[in-house]
């Protein structure tokens, strides 16, 4: 698990880019590339459990294109965010979603 540092076909220079975005996952700082989604940044950092269902089953990445409900996380208190298609932004607070989201008002 982690970023590709070399590849026989693809250009992977971006993986070693010096420009970083820092956000928080469960309070811990996570270093991401500007091109990352929340999911790609988490997996690149070795995190693949994104939350737990109502029945306490772990869930994570699955379809990568926002079509399933597997990778839902809470971002700045807003639940049901599809981490696989949501770009990272500096300073956001991402948390594992447990069951259905909590309302914010």
Partner 1 sequence: MVDNQAGGKRHVDAIVIGAGPAGLCGAIAIAESIGDGTKVLVVDEGIEPGGQLPKQTHKFFGHEGFYASVRGFEIGKRLVDKARELGINFLMQTTLAGIYEDSIVAYDRNSNSVSEYTADYILIATGASERFLLFKNNTLPGVYGAGAVQTLMNQYKVMPGKSFLIIGAGNIGLIVAYQLLQAGAKVKAIVEATSKIGGYMVHANKIMRLGIPILLNHTIISALGEDRVEGAIIAQVDGKFKPIPGTEKEIAVDTICLAVGLQPSVELVAQTGAEIKYISELGGYVPVRDENMKTTVNNVYVAGDLSGIEEASTAMIEGYIAGYNIAQKITGKDMSEKITNMKNELVEFRKGPFAAKVREGLKKMGISFPGGGYREEIQQMPSSLSRLKAVIECPQAIPCNPCETSCPTGAINTGGNINGVPQVDYEKCTGCGICVTKCPGLAIFLVQQREEHSIVGIPYEFLPVPEKGSSVKLLDKNGKYVADGQIDRVMINRKEKTHIAFLKVPKGMEGVVRHFEMSTVSEESQAYICRCEEVSRNDVEKLIDSGITDYEEIRRVLRIGMGPCGGKTCRSVVLQIISEKTGVPISESRLGAFRPPVIPLPIDAIVRYAKGVGTDE
Partner 2 sequence: MSEVKGAYNVCIIGGGITGTALAYSLCNLGETSVAVFEKSYLSSGSTGRCGGGIRQQWSTKNNVRLAMRSVELFEHFKEDVGTDIEYYQGGYLMLSYDEEEAKQFEKNVEIQREEGLDVEILTPKQVSERYPYINTEDLVLATFCQKDGHANPHKAVIGYAQAARRMGARIYTHTEVLGIDVQNGKVVGVDTNQGYFKCDAVVNASGPWSKQVSQLVGVDLPTESYRHQIFVTEPLENFFPMMAISFAGNFYMRQAQHGQFIMGQGDKDEKPGINYNVTFKFEKELTVKMVKLFPFLRNLRIMRHWSGMYNMSPDAQPIIGQSNIVNNYFYAVGYSGHGFMVAPAVTEALAELIVLGKTTHTDISYLNVDRFANAEVEKEKNVV
Residues that bind partner 2 (CB under 8 A): 78-80, 99-105
Backbone angle region of 24, left / alpha / beta, with phi > 0 → left and psi within -120 to 50 → alpha: beta
Does 103 bind partner 1 (CB under 8 A)? Our answer is no
Residue 18 touches which member of partner 1, partner 2, none, C-beta under 5-8 Å by kind: none
* H or E segment to which residue 69 belongs: none
Would you say 61 and 44 are in contact if contact means Cβ atoms under 8 Å apart? no
Residue 104 touches which member of partner 1, partner 2, none, C-beta under 5-8 Å by kind: partner 2
| Distance from C-alpha of 98 to C-alpha of 21, rounded to nearest angstrom | 26
| Distance from C-alpha of 33 to C-alpha of 13, rounded to nearest angstrom | 12
The encoded tokens of residue 48 equal 């693949």
Smallest separation (angstroms) from partner 2 to the CB of 65: 16
Smallest separation (angstroms) from partner 2 to the CB of 56: 15
Smallest separation (angstroms) from partner 1 to the CB of 24: 19
Minimum CB distance to partner 2 smaller for 48 or for 98: 98
């Amino acid at each position: 698990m982690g970023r590709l540092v070399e590849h026989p076909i693809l250009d992977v220079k971006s993986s070693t880019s010096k420009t970083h975005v820092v956000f928080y996952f469960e309070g811990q700082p996570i270093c991401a590339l500007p091109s990352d989604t929340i999911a790609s940044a988490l997996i690149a950092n070795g995190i693949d459990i994104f939350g737990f269902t109502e029945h306490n089953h772990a869930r994570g990445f699955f379809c990568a294109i926002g079509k399933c409900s597997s990778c839902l996380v809470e971002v700045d208190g807003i639940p049901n965010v599809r981490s696989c298609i949501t770009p990272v932004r500096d300073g956001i607070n991402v948390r594992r979603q447990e069951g259905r989201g909590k309302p914010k008002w």
